[in-house]
């Protein structure tokens, strides 16, 4: 498909800060920039692309396949379940891939927008990091998974439309580095530890090494900015935080993956209903629970570190089922 048919045009406007002060102002951000230069890797050279995905073994752990544990999925023939493993894994990885592309675009805007050179230097390295993540995940899907790149879900699109259209850098950074990347880090870590495919485990390990720096950028750059916000700006940031958390936390239904293995509409609907109950029930897979707990804990503690955990945000996080006292025990 020609690339212009699968491209969105997102209107945006922001001020570019062309600053000309070159002495170090934020040594901690400079350190992060030094680490970024030191830890660069090359996706074409450092990944063993000779390894092939084994379609019988699958990609993700079976417990991670959406709908696992429902009667409809348990009834599938072994062969069909193997195919579902591949399709679902590719569907999930496609969402991460679109997120990496969006992250690259957001960071290139941040190079322009952030006020000081220490932050600009670091953001310049994050642009390269996100390009590499986009490269490595797309190459995996194109070369190792028969080109199974699924369309972006509504939630990912809404989130990135907002992040990319936004004219305030601290809102972009909360959306990308503080919230979306916290989710991505938890997911990449779980995949690194549990995926059946060794090539994917290695890719996730490499990506994770970069992602901790990206989260670090938000922790270092946001506290002063948030402390100095007008009440109007703070309110806007809190509202955005709520929206972004809902978009990130709400599970998206992988309909296209079920359709790809030929499941009919009735069965797909049965899975959709049953998976909700399973998520609430006690038999919900242990490591999914651990994933959710780890992610909630990191979100709460990061929000606390940057000064965004207050009465208002705590109240709506509790409504979402996030335990806001988690940070204290982290
Ligand atoms: Fe990334
Ligand atoms: Fe990142």
Tens-digit pLDDT profile for residues 149-171: 999 999 999 999 999 999 999 99
Q: Decide: 195 and 61 in contact? Cβ < 8 Å.
A: yes
Residue with tokens 């590499």: 132
CA distance 59 to 69: 18
Q: Which residues, at least 6 apart from 66, have a Cβ–Cβ distance to it below 8 Å?
A: 88, 251, 253, 254, 257, 271, 275
Instruction: Taking each helix axis as running N to C, give the angle between helix 286-306 and helix 198-227, from 0 to 180 degrees, rounded to the nearest 10.
Output: 30
CA of 39 relative to ligand 1 center, distance in Å: 14
Q: State the angle between helix axes of 231-249 and 154-165 in degrees (0 to 180), rounded to the nearest 10.
A: 160
CA–CA gap between residue 28 and residue 30 (Å, rounded): 5
Mean pLDDT along residues 203-214: 96
pTM of structure: 0.95
Q: How far is the CA of 274 from the centre of ligand 1 (A)?
A: 32
CA of 130 to the centre of ligand 2 (A): 6
| Distance from Cα 274 to the centre of ligand 2, integer Å | 33
CA-wise closest residue to 227 among 298, 305, 123, 173: 305
Write out pLDDT tens, residues 260-302. 999 999 999 999 988 877 766 655 566 677 788 888 999 999 9
CA of 130 to the centre of ligand 1 (A): 5
Distance 101 CA to ligand 2 centre (A): 10
For range 49-73, the mean pLDDT: 93
DSSP state of 287: H
């Amino acid at each position: 498909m020609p690339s212009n048919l699968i491209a969105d045009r997102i209107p945006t406007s922001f001020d570019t800060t062309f600053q000309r002060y070159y002495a170090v102002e934020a040594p901690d951000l400079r350190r992060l920039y030094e680490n970024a230069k030191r830890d660069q890797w090359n996706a074409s050279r450092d990944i063993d692309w000779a390894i092939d995905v084994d379609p019988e073994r699958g990609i993700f752990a079976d417990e991670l396949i959406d709908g696992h544990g429902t009667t409809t999925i348990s009834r599938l023939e072994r062969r069909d379940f193997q195919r579902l493993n591949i399709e679902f894994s590719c569907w999930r990885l496609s969402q991460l891939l679109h997120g990496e592309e969006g992250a690259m675009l957001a960071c290139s805007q941040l190079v322009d927008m952030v006020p000081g050179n220490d932050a600009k230097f670091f953001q310049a390295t994050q642009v390269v990091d996100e390009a590499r993540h986009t490269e490595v995940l797309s190459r995996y899907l194109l070369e190792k998974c028969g080109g199974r790149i699924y369309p972006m879900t509504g939630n990912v699109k809404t989130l990135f439309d907002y992040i990319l259209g936004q004219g305030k850098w601290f809102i972009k950074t909360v959306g990308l580095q503080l919230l979306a990347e916290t989710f991505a880090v938890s997911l990449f870590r779980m995949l690194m530890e549990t995926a059946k495919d060794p090539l994917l485990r290695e890719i996730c390990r490499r990506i994770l090494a970069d992602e901790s720096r990206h989260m670090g950028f938000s922790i270092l750059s946001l506290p002063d900015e948030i402390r100095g916000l007008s009440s109007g700006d703070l309110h806007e940031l809190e509202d955005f935080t709520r929206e972004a958390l809902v978009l990130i936390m709400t599970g998206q239904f992988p309909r296209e993956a079920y359709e790809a293995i030929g499941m009919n509409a009735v069965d797909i609907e049965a899975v959709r209903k049953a998976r909700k109950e399973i998520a609430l029930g006690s038999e919900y897979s242990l490591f999914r629970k651990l994933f959710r707990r780890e992610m909630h804990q990191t979100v709460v503690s990061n929000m606390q570190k940057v000064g965004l955990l207050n009465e208002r945000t705590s109240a709506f996080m509790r409504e979402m089922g996030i335990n806001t006292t988690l940070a204290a025990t982290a």
